[in-house]
Amino acid sequence: MKKELLIASALVTTLGATSVAQAVTATMAGSMKVGAEFESPDSGTDTNNVKDQSNFNISLSETTDGGTTISTSFEIVDEGSTTADDDNAIKLTFTDGSALELLNAGNAASTHVVAVPGAGGEQGITGTSTNTAPGDVDFGAGSTVLGVEWHSAADFLADGLKMSASFSTDSGAAKTAIARTENSWGVGATYVTTAGDTTVTIGGGVADAEVVNTGAQASADKSGFHLGVSAVTGDLTIGVGYGDGDTFVSSTAAGSNIEVDGSVMKAGVKYVTGDVTLALGVASGEAKDGTFGSAGTTDDSSDSTSASVTYAVASGVSAVLGYTTVDRNNEGVSTTLGGNAWYVGATMSF
């Protein structure tokens, strides 16, 4: 209870210091993607479908008389059904450049994931829920909505260095058969430097979270680390990232909650020449999984290679041609759950 009261007090104290609220400054952005995807799985029937995706983002911001900026945002996403993204924190940015996010703050380890170039387009091959090989390097980072995250100002302790730290606590809800994250912490850092004409970015983070449910959970948790580096020289960008840790898959039955011990490596390259952007990305993930309290002994794996060509047709308008090929193993056995997919479409952004 003390932890919840501290979070609530920080929010009320800061907001209460401002004068009577007037209309805040609002900005908006969004995009519309329309294209066709063609999937050829290793087994089964070839399929094609239309990808019609749009998103609309509103950012709200205002600055107090004392110089503190209060901001938040929300997003509406339409990918077949309209949903609202309400997992957005209230962010306080102070005059020294540091910032504090309150509620829905996330995990600081995820904040410092280095962007690795990857192919554009909406192509992909559907896998299976029993294959738990991770695809994101920060898969071990988790949080609850009752969380805070602190961000340092730029050039913290050293030129080019920024750091973050986060903590989240449980909601007080009773444990059920469905496994969930109860509390978490995370730290992360990003360092940017130059070497001749090249800008180098190095980022990493460490996270840990407690997983709870009413069943056995002797070895189940959510934790891990990630490290990445990217280099930009003129129109060329290359990057690589690696993550290792533990996570879980929830189920309505206590005996079917899955604990996962995995790792993933991602690498990519992007080159811009005139109005054309060429991109190539690879990803390789593997994991051992088993029911809570029973670590797995055989590997799930997923290896993919993706490439794309993006052409800037006009301001805010781009055409995309993308390709992906995927190979998968499940419990150490080669499966027919891989295949390849093509995508051709256009994106309009504002």
Could you report the per-residue pLDDT of 245-271, keeping only the tens digit for each?
A: 999 998 877 678 889 999 999 999 999
In a domain, 97, yes or no: no
- Would you place residue 69 in the very low, low, confident or very high pLDDT band (cuts 50, 70, 90)? very high
pLDDT at position 251, please?
Answer: 83
- Share of residues in the chain with pLDDT > 70 (%): 89
Size of the chain in residues: 350
In a 10 Å sphere around its CB, with 0-12 CB exposed, 13-18 middle and 19+ buried, how is residue 333 labelled?
Answer: exposed
3-class secondary-structure state, position 99: strand
Mean model confidence pLDDT for the chain: 88
CATH of the domain at 201: 2.40.160
Residue 86 lies in a domain: no
pLDDT of residue 316: 93
Confidence label for 330 from pLDDT (cuts 50, 70 and 90)? confident
**Residues contacting residue 182 through CB under 8 Å, at least 6 positions apart:** 144, 170, 209, 210, 211, 212
Provide the Cα torsion 293, 295, 300, 305; round to 10°. Answer: 90
Please name which of 291, 329, 326, 336 lies closest in space to residue 305, comparing C-alpha atoms.
326
pLDDT for position 147: 94
**pLDDT of 198 over the 60 cut:** yes
Q: Residue 7, SS3?
A: helix
Specify the higher pLDDT residue, 58 or 11: 58
pLDDT over 90, % of the chain? 63
Q: What's the mean pLDDT in 162-177?
A: 91
Domains held by the chain: number: 1
Domain-located, residue 335:
yes
> For residue 318, is it within any domain?
yes
Residue 100, in any domain of the structure = no
Host domain of residue 303: 32-54+107-145+154-349
| pTM, full prediction | 0.84
Pairing assessment for the beta strands 180-195 and 333-334 based on DSSP bridges: unpaired
Q: Is 80 exceeded by the pLDDT of residue 170?
A: yes
Is the pLDDT assigned to residue 190 strictly greater than 60?
Answer: yes
Mean pLDDT computed over 204-226: 88
Name the burial class of residue 162, with classes exposed (0-12), middle (13-18) and buried (19+) by CB atoms within 10 angstroms of its CB.
buried
Answer whether 343's CB lies under 8 Å from 321's CB.
yes
Residue 83 lies in a domain: no
Q: Is 63 part of a structural domain of the chain? A: no
Residue 265 lies in a domain: yes
